[in-house]
Structure 1
Amino acid sequence: MSYTLLRYLRRTSLISQHIRVESTMTNPTHEEFLFRPPIAQWTKVIKEAEKIVGYPTSFMNLRWLLSDEFANLAMHLRKVVDSNHPIIKTAKTVLYNEHNNLQPWGLIILLLSKAFNPATPSIESTKITEKQRILAELTEMIRTGHYVHRGLLNIPVQDRDKNMDTSLFANKIAILIGDYLLVTANGMLARLKNQDLSYLISTALRDLSEGEFLGERDTQNMPLPGKPRTEHKDNFQICSDSLPLDVSNTLGAPIKEWCLRTMYNGGSLFGRGCQGALLLDNQALELQEKAYHFGCHLCLAWQAASELQKITSEGNESFSLVSAPVLFALNDNPNLYSIIEKAKHNVTEVDFTKFKMDVHNTNAIERTKLLYIEHANKASMYVEMLGNSDVIETIKRLIKTI
């Protein structure tokens, strides 16, 4: 075992020892739920998919975890493990990314790549496969970097004193880790030397940034739902062009608002990653666009399923106020919006236990189930258009193994 690996294991083990006993955070972000699809028998299907790919994708990011730069940041992270800062929960998610709590974006991209690999590999096809693996890695890194950047505490200037030194230091570490991941991902993208792919991923980065300015937010930058409207056209069309997403007449229309938020927070990135895999393989533009639609609908389906589990669980955990069940509940009973208005300063002031009961008293649960079914079926439809093979069948199992 190399010295670098030993050093990494020592440093991360010290961090993880503290993280294991760290209390559950009460500062959920919308992106948090993108990491946790509630899928039964998930491990079995993942292992079958990894056999097709050829290696465990849980080690996909090991290369950047072992770098000297990240090791130095991990050492600084040790100084804040006893705090209640959101970066600790983020680190826990990254270090303990078991298959049952991490949507396998990279694995899906690799499976799509495998579906078009020739039966007899050549030097050229091997080079394409390597590029597709790099694409899967950098897509995961961009998502993680964006997630880390969201784990910041907004501390007003007047409240900054010695008691806040730890939180301010943790903010700096979160910014540095997020920057490191994003810069590394962009460097990997540049080394692929593919202008069209760079353009696709750039549009996804644009969407991630623009999502931060959609709708109102509380003092901790937590998203707040739009005020429900009685008259609206509530549908969302996914377009494969590279234009900015349409935000007109969105807030207050539950389906359109939810779809747009999910596309901003990862759907666009995942779709472009799937599209890029076929682009690197020089597939027809029509197939590339189908891959983009597949990725977007799959992300939407997993998001709906995850939020559905969160709102129907028996625990008293908090949940996102811009999740599909909440938006549907506000649309069904607009009087519930008064609860949101009272907590606009800080969403943690919401009585989530009571609010969950209010959501259950509406048609929100059933409508969210239908939302999941709709996007899961569309994802299956689009992936079937990409061919008929064992790889495609495995992808379809990953879509609907709930």
Structure 2
Amino acid sequence: MTSVKSLFSPVEADLQDLTNNLKRLVGARHPILYAAAEHLFGAGGKRLRPAIVLLISRATLPNQAITPQHQRLAEITEMIHTASLVHDDVVDEAEIRRGVPTVNQGFGNRIAVLAGDFLFAQSSWYLANLDNLEVVKLLSEVIMNLAEGEIRQGLNRFDTSLSLEAYLEKSYYKTASLIANSAKAAALLSQVSPTLQENLYFYGRHFGLAFQIVDDILDFTASAEVLGKPAGSDLRSGNLTAPVLFALEEHPCLETLIEREFAQPGDLEQALALVFDSRGIERSRELAAQHAKTAIAYLADLPTSEPQQCLVKLAEYTLSRLY
């Protein structure tokens, strides 16, 4: 299978600068927060979101160097993403992220919440200093969406009446909004046409949905070692994702197990067996493929280049993670 990092070759140097700058931007004045952030930034993340920003920056500025504003936008994107992960781990009481202990596990909930707040505040400060109101609006909306998505997920725990549309909307808020809006922001900084800006927004939106659906499938099919967190953790916590929603249509008895929150011995194991005994995972793969295909279609008006081809291959890579 293609390594995701091999698809970042046109922006490899940019991403190395990003990693170095992130540690510097977080600031050595706050040793504990810096340690928490350095722990995250060094934990083997894919840097997928800033890579997309940088690839779009290079694809929309052919034969030109990307600007400091584009580089800073990529850094802001990763800061926002990392801040959301820190807060998610506190809410989920997660102990492992990317195969290493979470910030809350290593430093306690209080420091983890403050570290997340600090990263959001830092990202907002650097965002304001881009001096581009439209970009500020796009990324500010992302921060609202992240909170909205987490609230919706919390309110809908163990709710078997959750519709596929509501699941996809929550997935947009939690995952796709950041990719979509930062993609559009990169295009906006390149001063391309409004039509191309919108197309790149929809590339990010559909890419993000495909990516999240694949993650939700992997929660059932991948090992804890691959996931960097316990397998089946979404269902265990009452977070009903596409494979479960599709399985519920075939096995109504799954509803009883979920609604009593797996209170009886063997409930969770039985629920997992019912998901595997349905077309839930197969239909989720089809749904992810549909979104990945739509994402690629929105790149049609972007001039062909190595960065543009990498954006196409990234959408294909998202699906290949399943095999």
TM-score, with length taken from structure 1:
0.67
Query: Do residues 328 (structure 1) and 289 (structure 2) align?
Result: no
- Report the RMSD for the aligned CA atoms in angstroms: 2.9
For residue 145 of structure 1, report the CA deviation from its aligned partner. 0.4
For residue 69 of structure 1, report the CA deviation from its aligned partner. 3.6
Query: Do residues 312 (structure 1) and 221 (structure 2) align?
Result: yes
Q: Are 2:183 and 2:204, in contact at CA under 8 Å, matched by a contact in 1?
A: yes
For residue 131 of structure 1, report the CA deviation from its aligned partner. 0.7
Change (3 A) 1:215 1:298: closer
For residue 93 of structure 1, report the CA deviation from its aligned partner. 5.4
Query: Do residues 130 (structure 1) and 68 (structure 2) align?
Result: yes
The residue that corresponds to 2:43 in the other structure is 96
For residue 167 of structure 1, report the CA deviation from its aligned partner. 7.7
For residue 113 of structure 1, report the CA deviation from its aligned partner. 0.9
Query: Do residues 60 (structure 1) and 18 (structure 2) align?
Result: yes
The residue that corresponds to 1:258 in the other structure is 167
Change (3 A) 1:349 1:393: farther
For residue 353 of structure 1, report the CA deviation from its aligned partner. 3.5
The residue that corresponds to 1:49 in the other structure is 8
Amino acid at match of 2:305: S
For residue 306 of structure 1, report the CA deviation from its aligned partner. 2.3
Distance in 1 (CA, whole Å) between partners of 2:87 and 2:256 is: 30
Distance in 2 (CA, whole Å) between partners of 1:170 and 1:262 is: 28
Query: Do residues 72 (structure 1) and 32 (structure 2) align?
Result: yes
Amino acid at match of 2:11: V
Distance in 1 (CA, whole Å) between partners of 2:80 and 2:47 is: 14
Distance in 1 (CA, whole Å) between partners of 2:243 and 2:14 is: 34
For residue 195 of structure 1, report the CA deviation from its aligned partner. 0.6
Distance in 2 (CA, whole Å) between partners of 1:211 and 1:335 is: 28
The residue that corresponds to 2:98 in the other structure is none
SS of the counterpart of 1:277? Answer: helix
Change (3 A) 1:288 1:64: same
Q: Deviations over 1:85-104 (max 9, x none)?
A: xxxxx986542225xxx361
The residue that corresponds to 1:284 in the other structure is 193
The residue that corresponds to 2:87 in the other structure is 149
Q: Deviations over 1:105-140 (max 9, x none)?
A: 111111111112142x4xxxx5x6211111111011
SS of the counterpart of 1:322? Answer: coil
Change (3 A) 1:154 1:312: closer
Distance in 1 (CA, whole Å) between partners of 2:204 and 2:68 is: 21
Q: Deviations over 1:196-246 (max 9, x none)?
A: 1111111222211222332654xxxxx515323xxxxxxxxxxxxxxxxxx
Change (3 A) 1:59 1:111: same
Distance in 1 (CA, whole Å) between partners of 2:106 and 2:48 is: 32
SS of the counterpart of 1:334? Answer: coil
TM-score, with length taken from structure 2:
0.82
Decide which structure has the larger Cα Rg and report it: 1
2:157 to 224, 229, 250: 224
Distance in 2 (CA, whole Å) between partners of 1:152 and 1:306 is: 20
Q: Are 1:340 and 1:350, in contact at CA under 8 Å, matched by a contact in 2?
A: no
Q: Are 1:225 and 1:327, in contact at CA under 8 Å, matched by a contact in 2?
A: no
Query: Do residues 111 (structure 1) and 55 (structure 2) align?
Result: yes
Distance in 2 (CA, whole Å) between partners of 1:280 and 1:371 is: 32
Q: Are 1:105 and 1:136, in contact at CA under 8 Å, matched by a contact in 2?
A: yes
Change (3 A) 1:93 1:354: farther
Q: Are 2:184 and 2:200, in contact at CA under 8 Å, matched by a contact in 1?
A: yes
- Correspondence 1:2-401 to 2 at 5 A: 40-43=1-4, 46-50=5-9, 52-53=10-11, 55=13, 57=15, 60-66=18-24, 67-74=27-34, 94-98=41-45, 102=46, 104-119=48-63, 121=64, 126=65, 129-152=67-90, 170-214=108-152, 217=155, 224-228=157-161, 252-254=162-164, 256-313=165-222, 317-320=231-234, 321-343=239-261, 351-401=267-317
Corresponding residue pairs, total: 297
Which blocks of at least 5 consecutive residues in structure 2 are unaligned? 94-103, 225-229
Amino acid at match of 1:145: A
Amino acid at match of 1:306: D
Structure with greater proportional helix content: 2
Q: Are 2:244 and 2:280, in contact at CA under 8 Å, matched by a contact in 1?
A: yes
